[in-house]
Every structure is written in C-alpha cells, then in structure tokens.
Amino acid sequence: MYLVTGGAGFIGSNIARQALSTGEKVRILDNFSTGHWANLSDIRNDIEVIEGDLRSYHIVRNAMEDVEVVFHQGALPSVPRSISDPITTNEVNVQGTLNILHAALDAGCRRVLFASSSSIYGDAPEQVKNEDLHVKPLSPYAVSKLAGEKYMQVFHHIYGLETVALRYFNVFGPYQDPDSPYSAVIPLFIRAFNERRRPVINGNGEQSRDFTYIANVVHANLLAAHAPDAPGRMLNIACGDSITVNRLASEIARLTDREDIIPLHGPDRPGDVKHSRADISLAKKLLGYEPVVTFEEGLENTVSFMLENLK
C-alpha cells in the first residue's frame, strides 16, 4: 500500500495516478485546503481517501495502517503565503512532517519520501545548485522545508527509518491550480494569455528557473521508493536546465496564439531568488533518474490541458 499525503493536490494526485497504473494500492490523506476532488475524478473509485489534517497525529497514525511507502507531498505551499502567515506554515510543514515520520515509524512503514524544495538554496551565489551547497533559505516556507529535511535525516540515522528528501525545482503540469491566489507562474500566465490579459512578470524577467514537468517528478518519486542507496539523502529533482521568465512568457504566448500581448513588469517579489538551476547528477547516480519529458514538451502538454479545462 502506498500513502500519498496531499494526494488531492497537483503533485500528489499525479503520483497517485501513476502509482495506480503500476498496480499499487493507493491511499491518500488530504484536508482539501488546497487540494481538489476534481483532481481525483478519474481515479476516485480506485483509491482510498482519508480526509484529515497533517497536524492531527491521530489521523496521520490511522492513515499509516498497512502502508509500505509514504509519498509525503502534503504541505502549505507558496513563499508569499509563508511570509504572510509563518505560524501556520510551520505548523503544517514542520509539525505535520514530524507527525508523518513518527507515525510511519510506529506503523512499521518501510520508506518515507519527502517533497522538499529548491527554495532552501536561497540566493546562494552558485547558479547551478548541487546538494553540497550551503543552504540559505530566504522565506518561512523554505525554512520549513529545510526543517523537514533535517527531521528526515534524524529519523533515518537514529531510528533506521528509510527516508529520502527530493528537492523539487519549479514543478508544472496538468492539475496545477490556476485559481489559487498563490498559484505558480505557469498556470497564471496561461490563464492570462488565454483571457487576453497582460500577465505580470515580477522584476525584469531575467530571473531563471529550472522548470520541471510533473512527469519527471512522478518518475523520480517512484524510483526513489525502491532505490537501495537513496535513504538518508537529499536529491535535486529537475531537468538541469535554465529558463528565464521572459522566455517562459514568450513560449506561452506562442502556444496560446497570443503573441500580440506584451507582459507587464511589476516589482521584485519578496523572498524570491534570482537564479535557480539544478545539478541532477546525484539523482542520476542514486536513482537512475533521467528527465523523461523536456521543458518544451511539458509546456505544450500543460497549455493544451489547461486550455481544454478552462473552457
């Protein structure tokens, strides 16, 4: 049995969907604060759903019964949200992760995989980020993810629980929510261009990201569930590429046939980093990970999916 926390969310629902396709039994735990039943519409009859909060140890412990592997995706996402409400971010992302680890240990789970974040690198001057860099989180969200990683390591080294932290870099793809006030840049841009509005770019748009299509993240998680040398490690999961926000906007304008619409530029966003690109050599070595979908292919898939679902 696989347990996916945050399984009604963007990444969690995609992991659940792929795990089902490999023949695994899947249970999800979600309080539906940011996840949606609609994300599960095609698999609802094939999974077990527990509606509950990560902050409740009793609920988390019950969800762990007969579970072999936990894909811990549940969290309060977003840097801006964490800046406006650091206390709740800490309660969900740190206390919730501690609940997951303790309950997994108590229930005899074999392995816990943790959705960490490239945000923990902060504004480290090295443009290509590897796992040995000194981390420099710039927001409460990033701090909460770093704390989760440290708890993962402690539970591995002290208690022997198999734990793996996967540092995601700017994940995008189908089922990403364009309606959230904290929505990521790609669904916001797609919606804006589709509605013939000028999307807003924070700063000059030359900040760069390693935009990573969701299929690559799902692939990495399923590899990490069994990789023998992964426990106790933190691994970058990305494409190892660098795309500026200006280029991203241009590509989306082309794919939505809105090349006549020119984006607006606003102020830099507090807590943002300028450049983020992953060194994925360790994930290649320990997981056998290789990106399975390129940025260009993934963006085309995402635009097609969103335009179909925005009608």
Residue 66 identity: D
Cα dihedral 156, 144, 26, 213 sign: negative
Q: How far apart are CA 245 and CA 230, in angstroms?
A: 32
Rounded to 5 degrees, what are φ and ψ at 262? Answer: -100, 125
Rounded to 5 degrees, what are φ and ψ at 92? Answer: -75, -50
Question: Cα separations (Å) of 52 from 6, 48, 91, 94, 140?
Answer: 10, 13, 15, 17, 24
CA-nearest of 122, 223, 102, 249 to 166 is 223
In the set 141, 151, 175, 289, the catalytic residue is 141
H helix runs in the chain, sequence order: 10-21, 57-63, 79-84, 86-90, 96-107, 140-159, 185-194, 214-224, 245-255, 281-287, 295-309
Q: How far apart are CA 29 and CA 5, in angstroms?
A: 5
Contact criterion met (CB below 8 Å) for 141 and 182: no
Q: Which two tokens stand for residue 51?
A: 């509606």
Q: How far apart are CA 253 and CA 246, in angstroms?
A: 11
For residue 168, indicate whether it is catalytic: no
Q: Which residues are catalytic?
A: 141
